[in-house]
Amino acid sequence: MPLPHAGPPVPQTVRLPDGRRLGFTRYGHPAHRAVVFHHGFGSSGLELPPDAALLARLQLQILAPDRPGVGQSGVYRPLSFPSFADDVVALLDALGVDAPVGVMGWSVGGVHALALAARHPARVAAVALLSTCLPLGEPAAYRHLSRLWKLLRWGQVSFPWLNRTTFLWLSRQWQRRPDRTIDWFIRLMRPEEARVTARFRVLLRDAAVAGFANHGRGVYDDAQAWCRPPGFRIEEVQAPVRLWHGEQDGVWAPGNIPYLARRLGGAPVHLLPGQGHMLYLENWPAIMEEMAALLDGPCLSC
């Protein structure tokens, strides 16, 4: 039987019940099982490898929503992990996706993935956390943060106007000089992150341009939400979880990943030697194959 044809990923929008606009990118064929992907900080749903052949073989589609203020999504204040989890469920309802979905999240998107699984357990069949972070505003997690991340949270909470100004300036750079801006970021990165970013330069550049749309408002609101109490408990996640993390992650060191795995009932961890924060781009087929296996497994009806 021939596989359904799917065109290139195209950003789309839906109207949420309260009238707001939510942007998302669909990868793959609408008839296939759905996986929701939560993008990283300062990025958008355009950050995924457009591997249509892989998705067709696995019979999966990916729905990658943009958080409020990102891409074509309208600005919404105050953004929170629970509020965006509810937005994603509204997106699934609008698209007629009734079956439990796979959920993925890269970097801070991993916290949004956990929020969706915790808040709407009946809608989530499996979770993959890719180079994930901890919720900065949760007291239990805060004790495990590095000094740098504690300092960054203090600055975001204590000087929000400074961060707003910074994200506004970065938004202008991404809109006016996208090539120069991504090259500047690559020069600031650690070697492993710089290598992968340079390889996927155009994809990540375009994702960041959409991420910093709307004068950087979405990035600022995302940072504020990350620093507030998360509004859910990690232990509330019922779906099976898999964690992927690089031993050379220069953004979020792997030391906290065993702690997070314990809070998720001893979730298995793929700790990859020589890999950094961008590992999802170079391990995409393996990540998607594992997700397909989880969706095929007995936990789909748990």
Task: Indicate the pLDDT class of residue 196, thresholds 50, 70 and 90.
Answer: very high
In percent, how much of the chain has pLDDT > 90?
Answer: 92
Is a pLDDT exceeding 50 seen at residue 302? Answer: no
d(CA 13, CA 77): 19
Domain ranges of the chain: 10-301
Distant-in-sequence, close-in-space partners of 292: CB < 8 Å, separation ≥ 6 = 58, 59, 60
Assign 300 a pLDDT band (cuts: 50, 70, 90).
very low
As a whole number, mean pLDDT of residues 121-146 equals 96
| Segment 151-163 mean pLDDT | 94
- pLDDT value at residue 10: 78
* 269 has a pLDDT exceeding 80: yes
Pick the CATH number of 10-301 from 3.40.50.1820, 3.40.1160.10, 3.40.50.150, 3.30.479.10: 3.40.50.1820
pTM for the full predicted model: 0.95
Taking the C-alpha atoms of residue 280 and residue 52, their distance in angstroms, rounded to an integer, is 16
Q: Per-residue pLDDT tens for 29-84?
A: 999 999 999 999 999 999 999 999 999 999 999 999 999 999 999 998 789 999 99
Least confident of 2-11, 135-144, 287-296: 2-11
* Spatial separation of the C-alpha atoms in residues 290 and 197, rounded to whole Å: 24
Tokens of 33: 């099982």
Residue with tokens 């958008």, as numbered in its chain = 44
Residue 299 has pLDDT above 50, yes or no: no
The reported pLDDT for the residue numbered 11 is 86
